[in-house]
Structure 1
C-alpha cells in the first residue's frame, strides 16, 4: 500500500467546532497528504461527519481555517442519492455529477464510467429508483469519480450494505490510485484499505500511521497511560491541598503569618497543577453484559423440512431439509441481501411453539430474539417499561429496581430512565434491546443484524460479550470482524438453499462466486425492464419447441433472480408478465398435465 507523501492536499489549523449542546472538537491541526488513505473513527455523535463536511467545504468551522491545495481535486461520495435524481436513468444521474457547462461535450465520460463500476451497457436506461442497494453504492461512486478527483471523502459508505457489496467496495478502494478519508465502523474494511487512522475522541484528533485495529490498540495503550498519569496527578494535588489546609489551620491556630504565607503559596501551586493536569479521558457511553446459560441437551433446535418465507409476502424462498442447532453452536448466517437470512430467523422465532414439527425446540430451551427493526421496544414506553415488556414477551418477570440498575450500568444516565424509547437514537435503542435480552438468561439468542446501529466501539463491545456468552446463538451479520471473532459454524443462504461450509473464508468464496452469477442474472433481468419502460413488453413469438424450452428456462431464471431481491427492489409487474408467459409456454408444450 502506498505511503503518504509530504504533499499536503488539505491542511487544517486550530479548528474548533461548537454544536448547540457542546464542543465537538477543539484546536485540530493536521495535514492530509497525497497518498494518505485515512480511516476516521470515533463513537457516534463525536463529530466525525461534521469534521468531514468541513473538509468538503460544506460547513464552516466555529474557529480555525482550512486550506485546500490547488493540486487537490476533492469529491464526496454521497450517503444517499438526492431524491430529485431517483426518477432519472442511471446514465442521467451520472451525467448530472458533471458541471452544467460540460455535460454536453463530456457526455462520453458516462459511457466510460459505467462499465468501470460494473454496469452493463443496457443498464444505463434503468431508473435509479429501481436499482438495488449495491448498484446504488456503485452509482454514487461513479458520480463522485466523474470530476476525476485525487481525494475522495466517504461518509460511512459501507453502512447497511450486504457482504457481497462490501467486498466489492473493498476491492475498488484497494485498486483506486488516489487518496481518501473514510468514516467507517467496519474494522475489517478499514484494516484492508487504509494506511493511516485518525481517532476523534475527547474533542481531540489522534493521528496514527497505522490501519484501524493496530491504531486502536496503540491508542488504548496511550489512553491507559493518560489515565494512570492523571490518577497520579490527582493524588499529588490532593496531597498538596491537604498540606496547604494543614498549614493554614496551624497559621490561624498559632497566629503564625509565616505558616499562612506558605499555605497560600501552596494553594497557588495547586491551581497551577490543576491547570497543567492531564486531560481526563471521557468514558465511552456503552457498557454491555450479555448473560446466558448452557443446558445439557443433544440439540436445542431441530429444523426439518422448513419452508422459509418472508413475513410480508406469501413467497417461498427456500427449504431447510434437516439441520440442528446444538449447545455451544455459534452460527453465522451469511449471504446477500434478499436471500432469506432474516426470514430464516423470523420463521424459527414464530414457529418455536408450533406443533407443525418443522421447528422443534428443546422444552428447556429459552430463546431470545433481536429484531433488526427494534420493534420489540414500544416507542411510547420509557426505558424501564420497555425492558419489562421485552421480558414479558419472553416469559420472564423483570423487577423494576433491577431494570433501573441494569440500564444505568449499561451507560444510560439516571434522568433517561423516564425518557420515551421513541426519543432514543438508533444506537441507544439497539443497546437497550441487547441489554433487555441479556436479562432473560437465554440458552439461544437469535440476532438479526445487531450491528446496524452500532459504532465501531459498540461493535467491539458486542463482539467481546458474544465471545464470552455461555449460551448458543444464530447471528445474521455482514460484519466480518464480528463473524470471525465469535462464530464456529457458517451457514450460507444463496440460490434458494441453505448450505453449511467449514469456515468464514469458505463462506466468503462461495458468496463471491454466487455474486458474479447474480450480477449476470440481474443484468438479464434489467434488460427485460428496459423493454417495458413506457409500454408493455411485446408478445414474444417462440414457435419452435426448442426455442420455447429455452425461453422457459430464461423466464424461470429471471423470476428466481427477481424473487431473491429484497421485496422493495422486486418488480411485481414483470413477475406477472413472466408468470403469464410461463403459463402460455406450458400450455403450448402441453406441460400442465
Structure 2
C-alpha cells in the first residue's frame, strides 16, 4: 500500500536543493536518505511533514495518514520538563488520565531507566534527549516515522538499542531516515534514496549495496558520455574533411553529407550527460610534517581518574609509535576523553603528567567533539588569521576551498552549521601542520563524503593518531591498532568487533 507519493517534487531555498524527485513510500519501507550537508535532506522531511511547501511538484498522502517527525533539536520550552512529562504532554488532554500507560510502554520499549524518566531534559545527555524526542513521536502511533540524524549524540550502546528497536517495529510502519551513519543505515534500511539536485536515485537496497550500485551507474554514465563525445568529435572531423572535398569538387551530395554528420554530432553532444559529480561541500586535507622519532608517546602505567580522584583505569606500559592509528574503545564514562586530555597536556608540557612522556619533536593536531578551539563569536576568517600567519587573501582562498563563501567567512562561528564548523576545524588542523593527531569524535557533523575524505587523508598522509569515535565504519576503515578500556585496565585487542558486539548486547 502506498502511503506517500511525490511527483516532480522540488525545493529551492536560496539555491536549488533538489528537483524532479519522484518517490513512493509504501507500508513497511525502511528508507535511508543520503545527501551531502546542506543538500536538502531536512528540507525534504519538512515538506513531507507539512512544515514546508515544495517549490515544485505534488505530494499525495494516504487518507488519514499519521506522520511522526523526530527533528534534530529539543524545543527550548521542553528543557525544564521531565523525560516522562515531555512524552505525556503529546497525548490529547482527554486521553492523559486513561491512557498514560502508553507512555510507560513506549519508555519501556526504549529501555529508559526509571530514574532517568524523572530528570528534566536539560539534565540529560544529548543521547537521552534524542531518545526523548523519539518517544514523544512514537507514543502518537504514527504510520510513517521520520528521523533526522537520529544517531547524533548516541553512544554505541544506544545506537544498537535504536537499531534493534527500529527493526522490531510493526512491519506495516514505514520509516524514513536521514543519516550520515553508514553502519546504522546498513542495519536498518531496505531502500536508499540518494538525494541530488537533479536525477535523484532510489535503490531497493540498504546503503552499502545501494552505494556500490550507484557508483557503478555513475561510472557507466561517465563511460557512455566519454564514448559519445569521442564519437561526436570523430563525426565533426569527418564532416570537416567532406566539406573540404565538397568545396573543391563542387559536389552537392558531399555538402548534404557534411550537414548530416554535423547534425548527428550535435544530437550526440546535446543528449550526452557526464557522470554525476557531487558538488563539494568543501575539501578536507590534512598535513603530516613527519618526525624522526619512532616512539611518539610513552604511557608508564598512568592512572586515569575523574576530577574528584576516582580511578577510572590504569594504562599499563604502552607506546604510541610513528604510523599508528590507534582507536580508543570503551563505554561512555570509561575515561576515553580524559586520557586524550592527559596526552594533550603531556605534549604541551613535558612535565604536566608524570606517567606520560611525549617526544619533544611532536607537533599536535587536536580536535575535540565540541570543536571548542573555535571561538563561537569569532568568524572563520578571524580564526584562521588569528591562529596562523596568513594574509587575508590567502586565508580567504583556503576558506573557500573548505566550502565557505565570502558571506560565511564573516559569519560568527556559532551561526555556522555543524558541517561547516567541522570543515573549518579540519582546515585548522591542516594549517597546524602536525605530525601527531588527537581526534575526539572527528566525524561528528561530517557528511559521508567528508567522512570518506578524512579517512583517505589519515591513511594517505600516513598520519600518526589516537582517536575516539562511535562511527563504526570510520573505525573499521582507519584503525590499525585498537585499545580497549576494560575492567579498569587498558588492553590492546586485535579488532573492534567484539567491543561493537558487546555494545549491542548492552544496548
TM range, normalised to the smaller chain? 0.7 to 0.9
Name the CA shift for 1:355/1:127 in 2 (closer, same or farther; >3 Å).
closer
SS in 1 for 2:98: coil
**Gap runs ≥5 in structure 2:** none
SS in 2 for 1:70: coil
Q: Which residue of 2 aligns with 1:35?
A: 28
Q: Give the Cα–Cα distance (whole angstroms) in 1 for the partners of residues 497 and 272 of structure 2.
A: 48
Larger radius of gyration: 1
Q: Which residue of 2 aligns with 1:372?
A: 369
Q: Answer whether contact 1:335 1:511 (CA < 8 A) is retained.
A: no
The answer on 1:443 being equivalent to 2:435 is yes
Q: Which residue of 1 aligns with 2:13?
A: 19
Which of these residues, 183, 188, 192, is aligned with residue 188 of structure 1?
183
TM-score (norm 1): 0.73
The answer on 1:88 being equivalent to 2:81 is yes
The answer on 1:228 being equivalent to 2:220 is no
Name the CA shift for 1:407/1:18 in 2 (closer, same or farther; >3 Å).
closer
Q: Which moved more, 1:120-129 or 1:398-407?
A: 398-407
Q: Which residue of 2 aligns with 1:486?
A: 478
Q: Which moved more, 1:285-294 or 1:59-68?
A: 285-294
Q: Which residue of 2 aligns with 1:116?
A: 109
Which of these residues, 303, 327, 335, is aligned with residue 332 of structure 1?
327
SS in 1 for 2:39: coil
Q: Which moved more, 1:357-366 or 1:300-309?
A: 300-309
Deviation at 1:457, TM superposition (A): 1.5
The answer on 1:506 being equivalent to 2:502 is no
Q: Give the Cα–Cα distance (whole angstroms) in 1 for the partners of residues 405 and 187 of structure 2.
A: 40
Q: Answer whether contact 1:391 1:437 (CA < 8 A) is retained.
A: no
Q: Answer whether contact 2:287 2:430 (CA < 8 A) is retained.
A: yes
Q: Which residue of 2 aligns with 1:10?
A: 4
Q: Which residue of 2 aligns with 1:300?
A: 296
Q: Which moved more, 1:200-209 or 1:44-53?
A: 200-209
Name the CA shift for 1:494/1:56 in 2 (closer, same or farther; >3 Å).
farther
Name the CA shift for 1:19/1:266 in 2 (closer, same or farther; >3 Å).
farther
The answer on 1:206 being equivalent to 2:201 is yes
Name the CA shift for 1:512/1:279 in 2 (closer, same or farther; >3 Å).
closer
Q: Give the Cα–Cα distance (whole angstroms) in 1 for the partners of residues 386 and 305 of structure 2.
A: 27
Q: Which residue of 2 aligns with 1:166?
A: 159
Deviation at 1:302, TM superposition (A): 1.3
Q: Which residue of 2 aligns with 1:354?
A: 350
Name the CA shift for 1:238/1:400 in 2 (closer, same or farther; >3 Å).
farther
Deviation at 1:191, TM superposition (A): 0.8
Q: Which residue of 1 aligns with 2:453?
A: 461
Q: Give the Cα–Cα distance (whole angstroms) in 2 for the partners of residues 120 and 436 of structure 1.
A: 41
The answer on 1:474 being equivalent to 2:466 is yes
SS in 2 for 1:431: helix
Deviation at 1:245, TM superposition (A): 7.8
Deviation at 1:503, TM superposition (A): 2.3
Q: Which residue of 2 aligns with 1:79?
A: 72
TM-score (norm 2): 0.84
Q: Answer whether contact 1:443 1:471 (CA < 8 A) is retained.
A: yes
Q: Give the Cα–Cα distance (whole angstroms) in 1 for the partners of residues 315 and 332 of structure 2.
A: 22
Q: Give the Cα–Cα distance (whole angstroms) in 2 for the partners of residues 373 and 35 of structure 1.
A: 37
Q: Answer whether contact 1:304 1:320 (CA < 8 A) is retained.
A: no
Q: Which moved more, 1:473-482 or 1:85-94?
A: 85-94
**What does the per-residue CA deviation read over 1:310-354, in whole Å, with 9 as the maximum and x for residues that have no partner?**
8xx777664544432122322112334444323322222223123
SS in 1 for 2:176: strand
Q: Which residue of 1 aligns with 2:139?
A: 146
Q: Give the Cα–Cα distance (whole angstroms) in 2 for the partners of residues 80 and 436 of structure 1.
A: 27
Q: Answer whether contact 1:376 1:390 (CA < 8 A) is retained.
A: no
Backbone CA RMSD of aligned residues = 3.8
SS in 2 for 1:459: helix
Q: Answer whether contact 2:329 2:499 (CA < 8 A) is retained.
A: yes
Q: Which residue of 2 aligns with 1:136?
A: 129
Aligned residue pairs total 499
Name the CA shift for 1:401/1:259 in 2 (closer, same or farther; >3 Å).
farther
Q: Which moved more, 1:337-346 or 1:148-157?
A: 337-346
Deviation at 1:41, TM superposition (A): 0.5
**Gap runs ≥5 in structure 1:** 1-6, 393-397, 517-593
Name the CA shift for 1:73/1:361 in 2 (closer, same or farther; >3 Å).
same
Q: Answer whether contact 1:317 1:340 (CA < 8 A) is retained.
A: no
Q: Answer whether contact 2:155 2:332 (CA < 8 A) is retained.
A: yes
Q: Answer whether contact 1:202 1:281 (CA < 8 A) is retained.
A: no
Q: Give the Cα–Cα distance (whole angstroms) in 2 for the partners of residues 85 and 428 of structure 1.
A: 27
Name the CA shift for 1:506/1:240 in 2 (closer, same or farther; >3 Å).
same
Q: Give the Cα–Cα distance (whole angstroms) in 1 for the partners of residues 84 and 313 of structure 2.
A: 39
Deviation at 1:156, TM superposition (A): 0.7
Name the CA shift for 1:261/1:427 in 2 (closer, same or farther; >3 Å).
same
Q: Give the Cα–Cα distance (whole angstroms) in 2 for the partners of residues 90 and 420 of structure 1.
A: 35
